[in-house]
Amino acid sequence: MLSKPVELHTSPHLKKMITVDQIMRNVVYALLPVCAWSVYQFGISALALMLVTTVTCLLTEALFCHLSDKSNTVTDFSVVITGLLLALTLPPGFPLWMGAVAGFIAIALGKSLFGGLGYNVMNPALVGRAFVQAAFPVAITTWTPALAPGRFLEFIPSSLAMPFMRPVDTADWVKERAIDGFTGATPLALQKFEQISTDSMDLLLGYVAGSAGETSVVIILLCGTYLAVRKMMDWRISAGVLIAAALTTLPFYLLDPEHYPSPQFMLLSGGLMLGAVFMATDMVGSPMTVKGVWLYGAVIGFLTVIIRLFGGLTEGVMYAILVANAMSPMIASVTQPRIYGQRKKKGKS
């Protein structure tokens, strides 16, 4: 005779409990190799930028939790992810005070304004990045070369620029270090405006000018694979982004290979790989339906290529993901599977 009644339930049965903290902590683990490689490429300026954006995000989160009388969510690691991703989307020599502004906006406008974790409409890191792109257009398009001599001993001059003061000219800083072949342009800019391609191996390893997160594609893919294997990232979103980007690029390349980049270049250059693996897969901003995640990824890949090829900007990943974030509820609605046994309404297929 049983001491207490046994409760029987229908499937599906929950087999494994995974908390938000565990998921976010594993995402941080996956980001650490990307951050470490970025520091190797750009030195202490990249490290300082990551620390500033992350600490600012943590302090802003604590402030708004206190003001709204909510439990403190600083320890769930989601804010750390926002801070690290934000730094990886910025130039490594981005002034640190501007990085602090970006971190504050990312949490205040991108997250807290909507109610906190799980309620944000768009990726907070990209909201912060979009704000500083509009507010500081010169600083956010000022690039420095990778693997510069002395990068572990001194800051890139622009990093320590005082608020609203003009920093030391990066071109002069580059000349002083006799860094040959650096034009101040990213591979995307060289291809778009001068039709100059960049070696695929340099793109794979990230030995190019660009944002701090335009690092080794190999490392980003390995870190993404770790999350996918742990079932903490929907690999179909990343696959949808990359497949759509390649298929959108291919017709233009076949029509005029002298003017348009190859699909390989499109996939390896800029922040597409970082965005596809770590930003597009944000669980809050992406749909949950099977068809929806493929469509969501395809929208990002398509828009990224269109902006890169025909827009005024050389990069389009940020805006593509933000637009897809806004479309996510609609995508989830139109791709919602019909409940088993439910009849279709008349007049609908």
Spatial separation of the C-alpha atoms in residues 222 and 135, rounded to whole Å: 34
CA distance 166 to 256: 42
**Residues 296, 237 contacting (CB under 8 angstroms):** yes
Token pair 């993404």 is found at 224
Query: What pLDDT does 11 receive?
Result: 47
Give the integer Cα–Cα distance in Å for 329 and 121: 9
Task: Compare 61 and 3 and report the one with higher pLDDT.
Answer: 61
Where along the chain do its domains lie? 20-142+144-179, 185-334
Measure the N-to-C terminal CA separation of the chain; round to a whole number of Å.
Answer: 54
- Taking the C-alpha atoms of residue 206 and residue 215, their distance in angstroms, rounded to an integer, is 4
Question: In the chain, what percentage of residues exceed pLDDT 90?
Answer: 53
Q: Between 172 and 313, whose confidence is greater?
A: 313
| Per-residue model confidence (pLDDT) at position 186 | 85
Integer Cα distance of 280 and 297 in angstroms: 7
Q: Identify the burial level of 26 via C-beta atoms within 10 angstroms of its C-beta, where 0-12 means exposed, 13-18 middle and 19 or more buried.
A: middle
pLDDT at 181: 54
pLDDT band at 234 (very low <50, low <70, confident <90, very high): very high
pLDDT class of 198 with cuts at 50, 70, 90: confident
Read off the pLDDT band of 109 (50, 70, 90): very high
Distance CA 127, CA 107 (A): 9
Mean pLDDT of the chain: 86
Whether 307 shows a pLDDT value over 90: the answer reads yes
Largest Cα–Cα distance of the chain, in whole Å? 86
- The Cα 219–Cα 5 span in angstroms is 52
For residues 75-100, average pLDDT: 93
Cis peptide before 12 (omega within 30 of 0): yes
Specify the 3-state DSSP secondary structure of 157.
Answer: helix
142 and 91 Cβ atoms separated by less than 8 Å: yes
- Cβ–Cβ under 8 Å, residues 269 and 188: yes
Summarize the confidence of residues 70-82 as an average pLDDT: 84
Give the pLDDT score at 1: 46
How far does Cα 228 stand from its chain's mean position?
17
- Does residue 10 surpass a pLDDT of 90? no
Could you tell me which residues come within 8 angstroms of residue 323 by beta carbon, excluding any fewer than 6 positions away? 299, 303
